[in-house]
Each structure stands twice: as structure tokens, then as C-alpha cells.
């Protein structure tokens, strides 16, 4: 049994009180992972951006809007967890300046200067100590190489490769890759069945008392 | 009895396959207006951006993603309607260029050049002929003056003033203004009750056989 942090959903980075930059993410995979982890007897803490899905009542849910807020919430709860699954799609750029009032249209192009937001998965990787970390990679090109780079850069133990077409779909298809670049599991189907598989692989490889990747 | 077009929800303007610019809009007011219009015996066609709310089964629903798609869908159905309520929050800027693959982070600021998207309400206003048009104004500053300007610029018959704080709230507060700038109705409460009031005012002032603003 483990206490698992799950980040879920998108974050928003506002330009002004009305407009924002974000990523396509429904929170459904976070919901499915929470269900699967709870079904496996684990405790679940969800840090979620704005989504319409309903998370399981047995999970502790912390709501955030921006990437900075998501990072702060994760840093608060990660020390008391055994591991984290980063399935959120945090917005990785933010407008350098946020207008206090709604930006009026002028008929002219609007030049927006975006700066990078903090990398939540990398920050958790740096602070993880003995905790485990599972990331998700959503790449449109050269998926396996980029996913493995991401795993190493963010100090993940496993990374789940996901296709952009799955973002709002009911059916999904993933591969789970370890730190050697080996695909240790692949599955497709409903988000519920894929989530169950991911939690099973985490249980086999990362939670104590079972065969670990690192032992 | 009228056939009413309701635009609802946000639109999205993608930078690349993953990231997009959008507006905060849940589609709940569109849903409430559709319910209220159907309850009033009207026919309803909804053109909606991506939302999670469920529209009434008795409404015809057309799903779109971008502002351009929303405009095209509206232009297709507006000629067969008696009037339109524009409660959607179409994204009014789009990236001048859309990257075919996910833009890789470089550690450097990203300069994004945004251009204006077509104005759906204004386009319907230009093409309305004998049809009526009700707009929504969401302004953070100088609300009444800007709402009246918007009414005239977009050739609306009525405009509903809305507060940004209502965007994702269950309770809302609106004023309905006519072309003279007079507030002809004001109400607050659930979105359902506010929507019923808006449909009632439309019925009294804009649909044939009742006292019209223009008679």
C-alpha cells in the first residue's frame, strides 16, 4: 500500500482576466488512475487544474489554476507520499505580463511574449529522494527518443508514452518505458483499463515488497 | 414560437497540436438558455465550442473547435432562424502561425504573434436582415458604455451585461440593455432563473405578435 500523489488536468496561464493559454487535458486519465490506485488499496492525493470530471470521493483533491500553484501544492504533499504520477498537462509557457483588465482589440496583431513556467515533474524529480516518480510523455514526433530523454531529465522511474489523439478520447493507447528505454508494458483500451495496467506495473516495479527495477 | 440560434462555450485557437489560447466559458449559460427557450416552446439550434456540459436532447447541437468553424456553422443555420443569442465566448485572437508539431521548449522566451479572429456577433449582425440578435458583454472596466458600444457596433437588439466573476459560477447577475442604453431588466440568481428571464424579455420585445422595441 502506498500514498500516491497524482497530478491531473491542465493548468491555465491568463493573459488578462478573460483569455488564457492552456493544454488540451480533460482530467479523465487522472480520474481513471485515481480509481485504479484506490481499487489497489492505495491512498490518493490529487492535485488538479480546472476540469469538469468528478474525482473519486475517497481521494483527497487539491484544486489549482496555474502551473505555479500546481507546483506549490505538489511540493506541499509530495514529502508525505511514497511516489507520484504526473499525468497533468501543465501549461509550460505563461505570458510575461498579465493585463489587469481585458485587453481591448485594436485591429492590429498582438505580440505576446511567453516565458517558461516551472517544470513540475523535474522539480519533483530533484526532490524525490527515495520516492518514485512516473511521468507521461505526449510527443508528436520521435516519441520514444524524446520520452526517454524526458524520463532521464526529470528523474522518472517509468514514463508512459501517450498519443495526442488520446487527449479527449474515451479509448487510449500507451507504452510504459523504463530507464533503460525498454518498453515494459503496452496496452490499449478504455482509460480505466489502461489506468489499471499502469497501477499494476507501478505496484510490481516501484512499491516496496515486490520486485523493483532498482533492486 | 421562434427558431433560435444559441452560440455557446469557448472556442480554441491552437499554437501547435497541444497548446491553445481560449476564454473561460463552461457552456452552462448556453445550456440554461437552451433549456429556457425550449421550455418557452421555441426551437433551438446550438453551435458550441468544446464544453463538458450536456445540452438538452431536444436541441440541435453543432460542435466546433475554432472561432472560424463557429462562424461558418452559424452562417449555415442563421438564415433559417428567427433570431440568435450569442452567449459563446469565441477566442478573439489566434496565433498567426500554427506549428505542425509540438513546439519544443528552449529555455528562451517564445514570441507569439496573435491576429484577430472574425467577430461572429458582428458578422451575424451584418447579415441579420429582419432577424433579431442578442449579445452578451463581458467587460472588466466601464461596463455600461462598452456594452452599449458593442450593441451598436454588432447591430444587436439587446445586450446582456455579465460580470467576469460569473464565468464558472453557479449563481450569476446580469442586466439587459436595449439600443437606447436603458436597462430594461436586471436579475440575479441561478443561471436557470437568469436564462428564463432573458428568454422572457426576448419573447416580450423581439418575437412577433408581442410588443416590440421597434414598433
Is A98 an interface residue toward B (CB < 8 Å)?
A: no
Q: How far is A141 from chain B (nearest CA, A)?
A: 7
pLDDT score, position A166: 61
Q: Exposure pattern of B114-152 as b/e (b: 16+ CB <10 Å)?
A: beebebbbbebbeebeebbbbbbbbbbeebeebbbebbe
Is A64 an interface residue toward B (CB < 8 Å)?
A: no
Sign of the alpha-carbon torsion through B89, B94, B98, B102: negative
Average of per-residue pLDDT values in chain A: 91
Mean pLDDT along residues A123-136:
96
Does the active-site annotation cover A23?
yes
Task: Give the alpha-carbon dihedral of A36, A38, A41, A46, to 10 degrees.
Answer: 110
Cell 507546483: give the residue: A71
Which residues of B belong to the active site? 23
Cell numbers of B150, please?
458593442
pLDDT score, position B214: 41
Q: How far is A95 from chain B (nearest CA, A)?
A: 9
Assembly ipTM:
0.85
Give residue A171's pLDDT band: very low, low, confident or very high (50, 70, 90): confident
Cβ within 8 Å of residue B149, ≥6 positions away: none
- Rg over alpha carbons for chain B, rounded to the nearest Å, is 18
User: What is the 8-class DSSP label of residue A165?
Assistant: G
**Total-model pTM:** 0.87
Cell numbers of A156, please?
522518472
Work out the percent of chain A whose per-residue pLDDT is above 70: 93
User: What is the 8-class DSSP label of residue B89?
Assistant: B
Ranges of H-type helices in chain A: 28-39, 67-77, 120-126, 143-153, 191-205
Give residue A101's pLDDT band: very low, low, confident or very high (50, 70, 90): confident
From the candidates A22, A23, A143, A193, which is the catalytic residue? A23
Would you say residue A215 has pLDDT above 50?
no
Cell numbers of A175, please?
507504452
Pair B194, B174: CB distance under 8 Å? yes
**Rounded distance, CA A41 to CA A46, Å?**
16
Tens digits of pLDDT across chain B (215 residues): 899 999 999 999 999 988 999 998 889 999 999 999 999 999 999 999 999 899 999 999 999 999 999 999 999 999 999 999 999 999 999 999 999 988 888 889 999 999 999 999 999 999 999 999 999 998 777 889 999 999 999 999 999 998 766 656 668 889 999 999 999 999 999 999 999 999 999 999 987 654 334 43
Mean pLDDT along residues A36-41:
96
Cell numbers of A57, please?
470521493
Amino acid at each position: 500500500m502506498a500514498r500516491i500523489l497524482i497530478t491531473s488536468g491542465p493548468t491555465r496561464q491568463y493573459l488578462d482576466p478573460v483569455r488564457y493559454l492552456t493544454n488540451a487535458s480533460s482530467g479523465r486519465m487522472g480520474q481513471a488512475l485515481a480509481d485504479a490506485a484506490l481499487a489497489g488499496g492505495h491512498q490518493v492525493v490529487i492535485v488538479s487544474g480546472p476540469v469538469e470530471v468528478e474525482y473519486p470521493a475517497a481521494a483527497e483533491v487539491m484544486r489549482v489554476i496555474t502551473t505555479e500553484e500546481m507546483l506549490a501544492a505538489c511540493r506541499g504533499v509530495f514529502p508525505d507520499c511514497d511516489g507520484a504520477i504526473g499525468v497533468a498537462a501543465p501549461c509550460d509557457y505563461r505570458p510575461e505580463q498579465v493585463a489587469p483588465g481585458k485587453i481591448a482589440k485594436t485591429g492590429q496583431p498582438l505580440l505576446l511574449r511567453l516565458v517558461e513556467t516551472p517544470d513540475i515533474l523535474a522539480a519533483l524529480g530533484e526532490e524525490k529522494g527515495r520516492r518514485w516518480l512516473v511521468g507521461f510523455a505526449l510527443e508528436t514526433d520521435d516519441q520514444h527518443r524524446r520520452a526517454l530523454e524526458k524520463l532521464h531529465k526529470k528523474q522518472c522511474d517509468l514514463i508512459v508514452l501517450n498519443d495526442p489523439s488520446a487527449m479527449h478520447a474515451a479509448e487510449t493507447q500507451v507504452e510504459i518505458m523504463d530507464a533503460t528505454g525498454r518498453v515494459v508494458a503496452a496496452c490499449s483500451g478504455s482509460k480505466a483499463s489502461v489506468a489499471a495496467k499502469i497501477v499494476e506495473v507501478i505496484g510490481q516495479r516501484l512499491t516496496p515488497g515486490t520486485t523493483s527495477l532498482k533492486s
